[in-house]
Amino acid sequence: RAIIIRNGEIIPMSREFTPETERQRLQFLALLRPELLGKEFTHLEFPRRIQPKELGKKMLYRDQNMNGWAYKKIEEDDLKFPLIFGEGKKARMMATIGVTRGLGDHDLKVFSSNIHIKPFLSCFPEVRVYDLTQYEHCPDDVLVLGTDGLWDVTNDKEVAAVVMEVLTSYEPNDPCRYTMVAQELVVRSRGVLKERGWRLANDKLGSGDDISVFVIPLGGPGNYT
């Protein structure tokens, strides 16, 4: 995921593709190709996991054509695990993976089954163009590009605060200032090792994922006016 910080303003340059944001695409594919679900999953979404004792009762649901919810009578086929389950960062497709776009993973299967997940993963990226010539950028204007390990524990405002804090401690012409920003973002996202594991400054758990960060200057070297 990437953001641009320009004159202190945060400009999102990408968005995350998750089972929630791509729910309708995934459900439509499952509707067209039900064999991809094996006999374990249903393409319909319910607010919670259905229990056998609820057969015959009414429950809210939605399919690939719906943004809102409607009621349906629960049938035996609805007892299957939903294709998309969970909310937010805990949302999973086929109870396995939390992202829906990527390269590779050709052999990835649902745990203890022969159901392949690859057909539901799209390799098509979202492309966003930013015209550098439309703005006059100063040395503090940067593009921050990071993996999940950064964004899982650090939001846009926190990243921007670190960027400004570190950059102001170096001269505008010092090329090391951008490397030091990236290093500081990695260090803060990992946290400090304590008795209860890696902890952030607010004592919350540090990132358990890999953390890679690029800080790319948008303006050339120069002095402030």
**Scanning the structure block, which residue is given the tokens 């294709």?**
83
Q: Is residue 225 over pLDDT 60?
A: no
Residue extents of the structural domains in the chain = 1-14+129-215, 17-124
The rounded mean pLDDT for the chain is 91
Distance between CA atoms of residues 32 and 30, nearest Å: 5
pLDDT score, position 208? 81
The confidence band for 157, taking pLDDT boundaries of 50, 70 and 90, is very high
Second CATH level (architecture) for the domain 1-14+129-215: 4-Layer Sandwich (3.60)
**Which tens digits make up the pLDDT trace of 53-107?**
999 999 999 999 999 999 999 999 999 999 998 888 789 999 999 989 888 888 9
What pTM value is reported for the model? 0.78
Give the chain's end-to-end CA distance (angstroms, integer). 32
